[in-house]
Amino acid sequence: MPRSKTGARRAIPLWVWGVLALIIIVAGVFVLQGGLLTRDGVPAEVSVSEAAAKRDQGAFVLDVRQPEEWQEAHIPGATLIPLGDLPNRLNELPKDQEIVVVCRSGNRSATGRDILRDAGFTNVTSMAGGVTQWKAQGLELVTGP
């Protein structure tokens, strides 16, 4: 415990304990929400290059953007189910195949991943950076329906 100049022990201010508790809580929520850890051995998030490799190896690519975004550009072979429709269309997804969830930037895909995980899908991950990063890396995109 810290000592003052007179040698007496000083109590750690209450606000310090509050900050430490808040950091621990936030870290715990991050881990429980997928964070950087894996669930059932599947990473919560993969890079664009990892997602492309998974797609090439037969992973199911689920795009959770809106139809107008999809028509502008999407990953070849991907399936569109907008995020808002996802909970009601889970029966359209393969339970026996790896699923990579994508969106424009990576935020909605993380939510989609969590919806699937909560529904019992175990082999599902989210692509970091989304279609924006896919395009920036010069990977193929298609337009239209």
Among residues 64, 78, 103, 131, the one annotated as catalytic is: 103
Q: Minimal CA–CA distance to 75: which of 92, 94, 91, 55?
A: 55
Output Rg (C-alpha) for the chain, integer angstroms: 21
Q: Minimal CA–CA distance to 61: which of 125, 135, 134, 142?
A: 125
Helix (H) or strand (E) holding 46: strand 45-46
**Residue 123 vs residues 23, 116, 130: alpha-carbon distances, Å:** 30, 9, 19
> Is residue 103 among the annotated active site residues?
yes
Residues with catalytic roles? 103
